[in-house]
Structure 1
Amino acid sequence: MTTTASVFGAVHLGYIVIETERFTDWRRFGTDAIGMHHDGLGPDLMRFRLDDQECRFLVRRGSAEDVVATGWHIDDHTAFEQVEARIRTHGVPLQQGSDEEAALRGVERLLRFAGPKGITQEIYTTPRRSPEPLRMLASGFVTGDSGMGHIALTSTKPARIRGYFNTVFDARLTDCIEETISGVRLKIRFLRVDERHHSVAVAATRGLPLDPVRTRVQHLNIQAATLDDVAQSYQRVHELGFDMALSVGQHTNDRELSYYARTPSGFEWEVGWNPLVIDETTWEPSTLEGISVWGHLPVGQTITDKLAQFRVGARSLSRNEDTVPALSGAGIPDE
């Protein structure tokens, strides 16, 4: 079996698994604030839907208060087998998910393997569709060929993470952004696996290898169907008393208009609208200055918050970051 044929374009972000003890807050956040469809599966499990796929977010009870797994939809069995062969060739163990685990994620079957920052990566080919009509405050979300949105990570070894997603999924560099936030110089790399501008973003501090974020993910993104959906969910987040991280603004690179709320688990949740779609025949990577054209201003951040973030970053100096060297190009120097 060949492992050299590219799987780019056949890979899409499909679902996210979150572990939390804050079930009541997460239900209110997901349904009443963001506006997603909710399915309760018992005292320790719930799911959120964005479309007809049975599961886009699986929320399970646990102490992590973080994302613990990402699920990637592979278009066909040929591409699935190519990804599987790559992982085996690099000597990384694969585990078959149980029938119960697959059912909870709304897929027919899945394979899992180690991912950067301790986030388990899962792949599947066939999502299960729900006949139940959506019950949600939002008019809809954009998924399909673009996947369900993106994840953003902070890292002290960004080249390793880029190498990982290139090795596994043939991810392409879309562009980079350089930005100074609170005196810290950041470089953010945006990686795509399909037509969406990016499915993975990786932010790193320049100079010192600091990771100022406690959680494995810095934020998750979903794409609302209309501008009204963004505005109305922004208002609901405020009215329901959830913390807002960044006000409404527009990004320089993908032109997405969005805001960032803070989830009950502490990482951020971006709701966006109308990002550009990549044309592979004309796109060339570039480096831009500044994350936003306008807006995206911090909301309610105090000096205490900034000091707490500095302490998290200082502690990261003594903490090893898991990069799965066998899949991440261990010999590639970090830029």
Structure 2
Amino acid sequence: MSHITELAYLGVNTTNLSEWEKFAVDLLGLQLAKKTGQQLLLRMDEKAYRWIIQLDDSKGHAFTGFACQDESALKSLVQNLRDHNITVLEGDANLAAERQVEHIYTTLDPLGNCVELVCGLKDADTPFQSKVLRSPFVTGQGGAGHQVLVEQGVDRKKIMDWYGLLGFKLTDVIDQEMAPGIVASVAFLHCNGRHHSLALANMPIPMKMHHFMIEVSDMSDVGLAFDRCMDAGCEFEMTLGMHPNDQMFSFYVRTPSLFSIEFGWGGLVIDEKTWQVQHLEQLSSWGHRPGHVVAEKLSMTSQH
């Protein structure tokens, strides 16, 4: 069965393009590819873009682009979705040109999120160049990174079955008791060697996407980005720490569109043929303390 091979790009809504440009380019190290009065195109690698930031009355996740290997695989995947009574619309030449892909189809997942299925994401005419990074982002066969969607009360099996039609497979599950009787549950799914390109979170938060992870290839870049975000007065959702499942060393910083960016290094690459699903009870091995809690502790320390 044909399936997607990577999370290719992300679409984001914002009410302030200038704020997003400064955050993405000056703090995170993405490259501005194109800027209009309505959107920003941002690069992470040799591709024409990986991020579309579009001006809108709302803030947050707008759409996700998943890529197939070629046109034949894309058409086969679309037909399979339609055979399962899922509505899939073919995008016209204008949308394909705007997204800089060869072919594009659009659909909605069970959460109501817009999903774009594409092939042939084009390369840029010039090499990728960051203003601040020492090392390149980790993309390639692993795609742009990973996203964590909030389940919003929808049955997890229904969501997993839908994404299973795209080719996603379960990597592992973490169920952590945050307080007596309150459990945060996250299912992690892969579509290539990246430990997960998608995760589903059962958390009581009013947003479509909890965070999007971008990965660098030098650990120092994580520390340098952390310092840049701190100096800029950004809101940290979680401080430096490490996850036990994908072994990512990272921090979480709030974006101008309210969801967070996990900025990480050292993510696990799995062998899909031999991987065994794991069940864990801890979201972080160490660190990843809530930013406001750390700020309060530092404030109390300074008063003594």
Shared fold (TM-score greater than 0.5)? yes
Partners of 1:262 and 1:179 lie apart in 2 by 23
Q: Distance in 1 between matches of 2:96 and 2:35?
A: 14
The separation in 1 between residues aligned to 2:206 and 2:282, in whole angstroms, is 23
- Could you say which residue in structure 2 is the equivalent of 1:164? 162
Check conservation: 2:146, 2:196, Cα contact below 8 A: yes
Select the residue among 65, 76, 85 that pairs with 2:59.
Answer: 65
Please state how far the C-alpha of 1:23 moved relative to its aligned partner: 1.2
> What is the distance in 2 between the residues matched to 1:45 and 1:98?
20
The residue correspondences of 1:101-250 to structure 2 (distance < 5 A) are 101-136=95-130, 137-138=132-133, 139-155=135-151, 156=153, 157-167=155-165, 169-183=166-180, 184-204=182-202, 211-250=203-242
Residue 285 of structure 1 corresponds to which residue in structure 2? Answer: 277
- Report how far residue 250 of structure 1 moved: 0.7
Q: 1:92: how far off?
A: 2.4
Q: Post-superposition shift, 1:79? A: 1.9
Q: Deviations over 1:4-48 (max 9, x none)?
A: x253xx520000011111212111110111110013331111111
State yes or no: 1:253 paired with 2:250. Answer: no
Contact preservation (8 Å) 1:53, 1:106: no
Which residue of 248, 257, 260 corresponds with 1:265? 257
Code of the residue aligned with 1:65 in structure 2: it is: K
Higher relative strand content: 2
Give the aligned partner of residue 319 of structure 1: none
Q: Which residue of 2 aligns with 1:21?
A: 15
CA distance 1:102–1:6, change in 2 (3 Å): closer
Q: Provide the identity percentage.
A: 29
Matched residue, 2:301: none
* Cα distance in 2, alignment partners of residues 107 and 44 from structure 1: 20
Taking a change above 3 Å as real, the CA distance of residues 182 and 106 of structure 1, as seen in their structure-2 partners, is farther
Q: What is the deviation of 1:69?
A: 0.6
**Structure 1 pair 121–63 and aligned structure 2 pair: CA distance change class (3 A):** same
Counterpart residue type for residue 255 of structure 1: Q
Residue 44 and residue 249 in structure 1: after superposition, are their counterparts in 2 closer, same or farther (change >3 A)? same
Q: Which runs of 5+ in 1 are unaligned?
A: 205-210, 303-335
Contact 2:192 2:272 survives alignment (8 Å): no
* Contact kept in structure 2, 1:54 and 1:105, CA below 8 Å: no
Match for 1:141: what amino acid? Answer: F
Supply the distance in 2 between the matched residues of 1:76 and 1:97 (Cα, whole angstroms).
16
| Alpha-carbon contact 1:141-1:222 (below 8 Å) kept | yes
SS in 1 for 2:95: helix
Which amino acid in the other structure matches residue 142 of structure 2?
S
Q: Is the 8 A contact 1:118 1:216 kept in 2?
A: no
Amino acid at match of 2:274: T
Q: Deviations over 1:164-202 (max 9, x none)?
A: 1112x1211111111123552111110111111111111
Task: Note the 1:289-308 alignment, pairs <5 A.
Answer: 289-300=281-292
Q: CA deviation at 1:106?
A: 2.4
Gaps of 5+ in 2: 295-304
Q: CA 1:116–1:232 in structure 2 vs 1: closer, same or farther (change >3 Å)?
A: farther
State TM-score, norm by structure 1. Answer: 0.82
1:188–1:203: 8 Å Cα contact kept in structure 2?
A: yes
The total of aligned residue pairs comes to 289
Q: Mean Cα displacement is larger for which, 278-287 or 215-224?
A: 278-287
Q: Which runs of 4+ in 1 moved over 3 A?
A: none
> What is the rounded CA distance, in whole Å, between the counterparts of 2:271 and 2:128 in structure 1?
32
- Which residue identity is paired with 1:63? D
CA drift of 1:301 comes to 5.0
The answer to whether the Cα contact below 8 Å between 2:12 and 2:257 also exists between their aligned partners in 1 is no
**Aligned counterpart for 1:32 among listed residues 18, 26, 32:** 26
Q: TM-score if structure 2 supplies the norm length?
A: 0.90
